[in-house]
Amino acid sequence: EAGRCYFPEDELTSARLTPSQILSKPERFQPIYRNWVDKAERDLECGMQYSGAIRNRRVAAATVLPGLIGARTLALLREAGATALHRKIKVSRREVREIIARLALTFAVGSKFAAMFERFLR
C-alpha cells in the first residue's frame, strides 16, 4: 500500500532523498523526522501556553485536550523510533478517554494542564 509523504521536498533533497527512499534509507531520513517531531513539540507547547491564558475553565479545558493528545502522540512517535515509518502510531481510544477523565477531574486548576502536558510528552 502506497503512503503519502508530507515532508518538505527541499529537506528531502538536501538529504539526498526522494519520498520513495524514506523507508529504504531511514538513517538519512531520521534527522528530518526528528526535526519535525521537535517542531511539533514546540508548537504544542505554545498552544498549551495559550490555553493557560484562557480564563473560562471549560473553554480552557476544551483547548487543552488536543494538546494533551498531541503530546501523547509525540511520545509514542519517539518511543517507536524508526519503526514509526512502518506502522500506524495512534493514541488509543482508551487513552483518549483517560485523558478526558483526568482533564475533567483537574480542569478547575490551570496549573495542572502544564504538568499533564509534560507527563504525556515523556
Mean pLDDT of 48-59: 87
Residue 9 CB coordination number (10 Å): 11
pLDDT of residue 15: 93
Whether 110 is covered by a domain: the verdict is yes
**Exposure letters 19-40 (e unless 16+ CB within 10 A, then b):** eeebeeebeebeebbeeeeeee
Whether 1 is covered by a domain: the verdict is no
The yes-or-no verdict on residue 1 having pLDDT over 50 is no
Percent of the chain whose predicted confidence (pLDDT) is above 70: 92
Whether 4 is covered by a domain: the verdict is no
The count of domains in the chain is 1
Whether 2 is covered by a domain: the verdict is no
Q: DSSP letter string over 68-89? A: HHHHHHHHHHHHHGGGGGTS--
Structural domain of 58: 9-121
- Sequence-distant (6+) residues with CB within 8 A of 39 are none
What confidence tens digit (pLDDT) does each residue in 31-46 have? 999 999 999 999 999 9
Cβ-based burial of 42 (10 A; exposed 0-12, middle 13-18, buried ≥19) = exposed
Whether 46 is covered by a domain: the verdict is yes
The yes-or-no verdict on residue 20 having pLDDT over 90 is no
Whether 73 is covered by a domain: the verdict is yes
Query: Strand, coil or helix: what is 101?
Result: helix
